[in-house]
Structure 1
Amino acid sequence: MTMTTEPTTQSGPRKQAPAGHAAPKPHKKHSARKRGAGSYAVIAAVGIFVLAFLSPFGIILLNSFKTGADYRANGSLSLPEEWNWAVIGDVWERVEFTQKLVNSIQISLGVVLIAVVLALFNAYAIGIGRVRRRTAFLVFFLGINVLPQEGLVYPIYYLFKEMGLYDGKLGYTVLVGITYSAFGTYLLASVFASFPRELIEAASLDGAGRWTILWRIVLPMSWPTLSVMCVFFFVWSWNEFLYPLVLLISNDNQTVPLGLSVLQGQYSSDPTSLSAAALLGVIPMVVFFLIFQRSLTRGLTAGAVK
């Protein structure tokens, strides 16, 4: 009996993947290209938005250093034929910008101090102290925020006249500070409502009183929110126009927005002077944000990660 065996062909040794290692997957070049194209589209959209947002400031900057003849001959979008720095100095002297700047800084800082202190005390009583009718108080403070200034300006004007506070920076500062404290109270009360009660109870067991708990525990932990409130209150107070227009009529007490508004007449206007005035009004806010941008960023992101 003969056995026949078929010839076997050896095609060489086969490489096997090591144990525990998966075979490599093909690269997804198509998905990477899609992600790259989407990223470029987002960057382009953000760039267009930033340019559209900054274009008015660029136009103001160009026209702030033009002469009247240059503006009339070449329009508002052209570069100045000669950078005329005298326009800034002329506007500074015409509106007495130094006095207006000092007034705005004093009033804004006073408003921030009054509003933040009142909001802190009110929110501590409502959010942590758990006073009775807490919801009614929050609705009251919320209602103050939604009242229009046009509906309050005449009663406030009459009240200031009767109390002898009319055309005074102190009365105006107290008024705006109390008004802003309503928003601060509503905001802080919502934050304090979720404050860890274990810390309050532990401090109370250690013999800490209410003032100690406020200054040693609540205030340090709430500083990011308070810093954001300080920035917002300063900017809002700086940009106020209706209240100072009615309550601060003398030239020595007026703020920057009121001082710059005198350059616009009913039948005449100077675009270059108005642009220079707008630039002078914007520069302090830019400097303020550059100084406090870290506090603002930390405050906005403080509650994002626990």
Structure 2
Amino acid sequence: MAVIPAARAVRSRRDPDRYRKGPMRWLVLALLVVTAGLVLVPFALMLLNAFKSPADYSGNGPLSWPSSFQLDGLANYWRQVRYEQKLLNSIVISGAVAVLGVLLSLLNAYALGIGRVRGRMWIVGLFLMANMIPQEALVYPLYHLAKATGLYNSRLSVIIIFTVIQSAFGTYLLASVLGTFPKSLLEAAALDGAGRWTTLWRVVVPTLRPTLSVLLIFFFIWTWNEFFIPLVMLIDNSTQTVPLALAALQGDRLMDATTTNAGALISLLPTVIFFLLFQRTLTRGVTVGAVK
């Protein structure tokens, strides 16, 4: 009789997923499906109304199926806001900030995490506090500084601002990672005669490549979605970014709901495509340290 409970215990240890196949698993799955459906509802409405005519939208409402698929809203939005110019501006600004922000974060973190700068914890704490400063508190001095240096209404001003802002978070994150960097790798590089610069690019960067890839993706998406500072710093239509395209049409009497939905759809597509292209890189970078 004592053998049966022991056999059941052994079977339970051999089948750890046995308890994950119960009703709770299906309940969690159902909740996730419902949540995903609620999140996708606004996007479905946007997609539905982007291809309607203004008469169809006003006559049948936003929840009706289009009587005929129209591309007038997409064409009107593209033409009125000069979307190709704003798309180029967003790509240039976001790409430059992503690359420069990661590079600056890496150099700062290398000095703080491995270089062991005096007062390292205080400096890392300052970078952490810098992430908590709201942009509304920064925009006034940044505006006057850009005016004084002749960079106002230029893409370079926004690139510099967001490179510094994004690198504050990147420095804090990478400094924490490099603070626990294996000393054996650094000692082996020193025994081979590698200097600090060689150690950085031949030892540290290859080890941190997944983390740097995640930072690059985040910096690009975060900068792409920025609205407030570009709204203040970029006043000319030729320098504005994609998130400002819809705001540029506010107050226009010719603006209609179908054009708004079409513009939101076009503005959203680049970030969705970018995320899908680098989804595997993002997943691998997030989970690279989960399993040793």
Structure-1-length-normalised TM-score: 0.87
Identify the residue that residue 270 of structure 2 maps to in structure 1. 284
- Rounded to whole Å, the distance in 2 between the matches of 1:212 and 1:300 is 26
Structure 2 runs not aligned, ≥5 long: 13-17
- Rounded to whole Å, the distance in 2 between the matches of 1:23 and 1:148 is 60
Identify the residue that residue 138 of structure 2 maps to in structure 1. 152
- Rounded to whole Å, the distance in 1 between the matches of 2:214 and 2:132 is 20
Q: Say whether the 8 Å CA contact 1:101–1:256 is kept in structure 2.
A: yes
Post-superposition offset of 1:24 = 8.1
Identify the residue that residue 299 of structure 1 maps to in structure 2. 285
- Rounded to whole Å, the distance in 2 between the matches of 1:284 and 1:104 is 10
Identify the residue that residue 182 of structure 2 maps to in structure 1. 196
Identify the residue that residue 259 of structure 1 maps to in structure 2. 245
Identify the residue that residue 78 of structure 1 maps to in structure 2. 64
Structure 1 runs not aligned, ≥5 long: 1-19
Structure-2-length-normalised TM-score: 0.92
1:110-166 Cα shifts (integer Å, max 9, x gaps): 101111111000000000111100011111111211111111101000011111111
1:148-207 Cα shifts (integer Å, max 9, x gaps): 111110100001111111111112211111111111000000010111011101111111
- Rounded to whole Å, the distance in 1 between the matches of 2:171 and 2:223 is 17
* RMSD between aligned residues: 2.2
User: Which residue of 134, 147, 155 maps to 1:169?
Assistant: 155
Percent of pairs with identical residues? 50
User: Which residue of 220, 224, 230 maps to 1:244?
Assistant: 230
Identify if the C-alpha distance between structure 1 residues 23 and 290 changes in structure 2 by more than 3 Å, giving closer, same or farther. closer
- Rounded to whole Å, the distance in 1 between the matches of 2:149 and 2:163 is 18
User: Which residue of 75, 81, 95 maps to 1:109?
Assistant: 95
Q: Say whether the 8 Å CA contact 1:111–1:234 is kept in structure 2.
A: yes
How do residues 83-94 of structure 1 correspond to structure 2 at under 5 angstroms? 83-94=69-80
Code of the residue aligned with 2:60 in structure 1: it is: N
Query: Is 1:100 aligned to 2:86, yes or no?
Result: yes
1:197-244 Cα shifts (integer Å, max 9, x gaps): 111011111111101110001001101111111111001110111111
Identify if the C-alpha distance between structure 1 residues 33 and 241 changes in structure 2 by more than 3 Å, giving closer, same or farther. closer
Q: Say whether the 8 Å CA contact 1:263–1:270 is kept in structure 2.
A: no
Larger radius of gyration: 1
Structure 1 stretches of 4+ moved >3 Å: 20-25, 32-36, 266-269
